[in-house]
Amino acid sequence: MRHHLPLLFVFTVLALLSGNASAHATDGVAGGFVTGFLHPLFGWDHVIAMVAVGLWGAFLGSPAIWLLPVVFPLVMAFGGALGVIGIPIPSVETGIASSALVLGGMVALAARPPLWVAALLVGAFAIFHGHAHGTELPGATNALSYSAGFVVATGLLHLGGVAFGLLTASPRGRIAVRAAGGAIALAGAGLLVGLV
Amino acid sequence: MRQVGALPWLLAAAPGSALAHSPFQGLSSFLNGILHPLMVPAHLLLLLALGLLIGKHDPARHQPVVLAFLLASIAGLLITHSADVLLLPAVLLASTVVIGLLVVANVPVHPRLLLLAALACGLMLGLDSNPEVYTGKALSGALFGSGIGIYLLLIYPMGLADSMRNRAWQRIGVRVLGSWISASALLVLTLQFAPALNS
């Protein structure tokens, strides 16, 4: 009997963790994806910050141009996980608005910090963005397609920023990119003080 | 220490919600079977991640890996045809996170590990493909369709990753896809355990 005690413990724990069986319709998959995809696109604060990440990545050149779009979704998922679990992060909206101000400012000022500083800064802001998306996740029709939708939309916004940022190859394009960064920083400041 | 090491496995084996998938009305069971892996996000993401991982490792040199995946998925489908098997969504999601991170990390994976991953994923996907609404001949048709759907959904991302091995930006694109897949799966994996973590 003593030999069976660990097994008994395992089965007891598994039984306590069991949930309900539930069927779900496949139409929730497409709905969940669309809802998730539109979530970052319908929030100007998310849109401009994500574009700024791409712009800055392109501005910094290789390897930042690929490192930032690879790192951001993973760190954002970590922030989202905090939101799902219910761990509060103070001033999430302020953090998101600050991300637009700071990242846009970096592009406008043509700042070139070491790569680890850029990755750390972008990663820190990714947690705020992920947390905002993550708190919406438990209510989604289909959680997995919702999260895939918002991760893909976020990634496409990065790529949009990277594509525009590639204009830095020419002197005029460089001015255009810095001007876009300035506009994003101004919009971020507007979001912070409640004007936008 | 051994008890602590066993904790992740215990959590992975923890029973969660069983999710059945209702078929499209008007389509035959065979066509519904083909669409099944496409319409179940957990299957789709795992297949995309595994396809990208195999594709990054020169699939022409790893044909046994693809064959092993095919045989394992057929074995899983045959088992689920004759017995009710409940596979936990958390296991599929955890596998997706790990395989997606291997795509992101861009490190060469040992052929045996690749073979093991293909076997495990094929078996899991086969076992989790029982549509539950069909019986008899319709069930056989649905599972046959699922087998074809699973195989096709592995082959396409594998071909994509294989064709994107030549240029640096193409390899980066595959890694970005891997990070998207891992991030999506990680979030929902957290959601699976959120009730236990919150209590």
The chain-wide mean pLDDT, for chain A, equals 82
Confidence at B197, pLDDT banded by 50, 70, 90: low
- Residues of A37-74 as b/e, b for ≥16 C-beta within 10 angstroms? bebbbebebbbbbbbbbbbbbbbbeeebbbbbbbbbbb
Q: Is the ipTM of this complex over 0.90?
A: no
Q: What is the model's pLDDT at position A70? A: 85
**Chain B contacts of A71, Cβ < 8 Å?**
179
A65: nearest Cα among A127, A118, A1: A118
| Largest Cα–Cα separation, chain A | 80
Question: What are the sequence ranges of the domains in chain A?
Answer: 31-193
A34: nearest Cα among A169, A152, A192: A152
Q: What is the model's pLDDT at position B21? A: 54
With a cut of 80, say whether residue A29 has pLDDT above it: no
- Whether residues B198 and A86 touch (CB distance < 8 A) is answered with yes
Q: pLDDT digit string (tens) for A90-114? A: 889 899 999 999 999 999 999 999 9
Q: Which sign does the torsion angle of CA A151, A70, A113, A174 carry?
A: negative
Q: pLDDT digit string (tens) for B73-106? A: 999 999 988 887 777 778 999 999 999 999 999 8
Tell me the one-letter amino acid at A86: G
Return d(Cα B199, Cα B190) in angstroms, integer: 14
What's the whole-model pTM score?
0.77
With a cut of 80, say whether residue A58 has pLDDT above it: yes
Q: What is the model's pLDDT at position B11? A: 42
Min Cα separation B64/chain A (Å) = 31
**β partners of residue B19:** A22
Q: CA-CA distances (angstroms) from residue A143 to A31, A72, A94, A146, B73?
A: 10, 20, 26, 5, 26
Confidence at A1, pLDDT banded by 50, 70, 90: very low
CA A188 to chain centre: 16
Q: pLDDT digit string (tens) for B8-31? A: 444 444 444 444 456 677 778 899
Q: What is the model's pLDDT at position A13? A: 47
Query: Dihedrals φ, ψ of B61, to 5°?
Result: -90, -10
Tell me the one-letter amino acid at B115: L
Chosen from A37, A151, A162 to mutate, greatest number of chain B CBs within 10 A:
A151
**Chain B contacts of A37, Cβ < 8 Å?**
none
Confidence at B199, pLDDT banded by 50, 70, 90: low
Contact B12, B124 (CB under 8 A): no
Return d(Cα B109, Cα B193) in angstroms, integer: 29
Return d(Cα A144, Cα A163) in angstroms, integer: 28
Min Cα separation A186/chain B (Å) = 29
DSSP secondary structure string, B83-121? S-----HHHHHHHHHHHHHHHHHTPPPPHHHHHHHHHHH
DSSP B24: P
B53: nearest Cα among B191, B134, B184, B165: B165
